[in-house]
Amino acid sequence: MKIEFITDRETAKYFSPIPASASMPDWYNSNIEPRDTIYSCPPVMDFINSGYMIRSTYEYDVDEKIKDFVKGREISSVNTRPQIRKHPSIYTNTAFPKTKIIPKSYARIETDFVIKTPPGYSCMIFHPHYQDITNFTVLPGIIDTDKHDYVLSVVIEAHVKNLKISPGDILAQVVPFKRDPWTSQVNLVDNISSHVLQYITGAYKKLFHAKKEFK
């Protein structure tokens, strides 16, 4: 299958999305004994290596501001691309219910990429959790990229008062998947655990793991 990232020539030259496997976090290259560490966990490694990394094309300043006695986030950038949709001058707390779970300090950043997937395929957009990105978090979502024809937007929660995102910084991780209808059922067994496999070092990797490939 093929995923397309559509953009202009200059953006493609310098800031094309890259396979997640080509953007391994710095800590991965440190000298840590693999046994009994995260290195020996194939599900984590699969997550780190899945999909593609979307990078920022411009510099963005996302600053905490107060407008009309309401605190929010204001974005400034030299991005001159015509805005097809009107953006608010400041992102306030009113877009989400006032709960302790939903982040209040959020803003939306438009990337410079339209993503196209084959019919029946969508993309999960989420924060690159194992990268060392702590000054903001991407709110996860799913986009039907086989139908959506506008540039990808990411919604972020800023964790610092004055957030700066530089050109080339990773914004989000994108993983394509096929949309299939699902049903669920619960099956009963006498013993849910397989005690024998727990004593085989690397049992999951040796017996169950399947290769995933993103280029």
- pLDDT tens-place string over residues 24-62: 888 777 766 666 667 778 888 899 999 999 999 999 998
Distance (Å, rounded) from C-alpha 75 to C-alpha 91? 9
- pLDDT tens-place string over residues 173-208: 999 999 999 999 998 887 766 555 555 566 667 667
Q: Are the CB atoms for 202 and 40 separated by under 8 Å? A: yes
pTM: 0.85
Distance (Å, rounded) from C-alpha 127 to C-alpha 54? 10
Which are the contacts of 215, defined by CB distance < 8 A and separation ≥ 6?
A: 19
Homologous superfamily assigned to 4-179+193-207:
Deoxyuridine triphosphatase (dUTPase) (2.70.40.10)
Q: Are the CB atoms for 155 and 97 separated by under 8 Å? A: no
What are the sequence ranges of the domains in the chain? Answer: 4-179+193-207
